[in-house]
Amino acid sequence: MLNRNAISSGAYLESFDSLPKELLWTQQQIDASLAQTLAARPGTSSDVWVFAYGSLMWNPISDFDSRRIATLHGWHRSFCIRLIAGRATLEQPGRMLSLEMSGSMQGVALRLCGTTLEEELRILWIREMVTGAYRPVWTPVTLEDGTEIDAIAFVSEPANAQYEGDTEPAVIAPLMAVASGLFGTNAEYVYKLQAALTDCGLNDAYIDELADELTRVTKEAA
């Protein structure tokens, strides 16, 4: 699992040694993406919120001073990124979670600590933009008390070479059931996400269906 020290020291790159070098983003590319996103920041609020919908829910790494249940309209969870490191390999790829347009879904909004905001954003960007497979966007998010905020969300980039269009559980579960890497198994990620949602009093029918399919495939293979 990625941690703050590994990202800050650059040691995290050892976990991606198996990736083709052309896929890895340079620090300059990562910094440029962060700068472009901040330049497009809407409104005048000094707060920076991030919408967490996957591993950021249980392993945010970046420090935050507020965590709220939130709803994001116009997007849904989708395992639409080909995964070849971390919880998979080039020889046995899996799938990584992202967001695709349409629908709505729930997760948590994290307000990054203002006193260390620059450091928290840099850590977040290094973590999420290792290969540039995501597109960071500002999007309206509704907190559980009805308050609307603008938050950063990392969404899918269909033009990226790692994008995969077929995300049906019946199609991807057999791949994910056998994919594993330095961070653990691909299936474990799904179960951790399902548990994180439950802990928040939430659920996602797509994640539940995928978890059930993974369990079924695993049992059949045993």
Please give the structure tokens belonging to residue 177.
């059931």
128 catalytic? Reply is: yes
State residue 213 phi and psi, 5-degree precision: -65, -40
CA dist., res. 176 & res. 188, Å (int) = 9
Which one is catalytic: 120, 128, 164, 213? Answer: 128
The DSSP secondary-structure symbol of 44 reads: S
CA dist., res. 165 & res. 27, Å (int) = 28
DSSP lists the bridge partners of residue 139 as: 151
Please give the structure tokens belonging to residue 7.
């990202």
CA dist., res. 27 & res. 144, Å (int) = 36
CA dist., res. 2 & res. 7, Å (int) = 7
Stated length of the chain: 222
Catalytic annotation, residues: 128
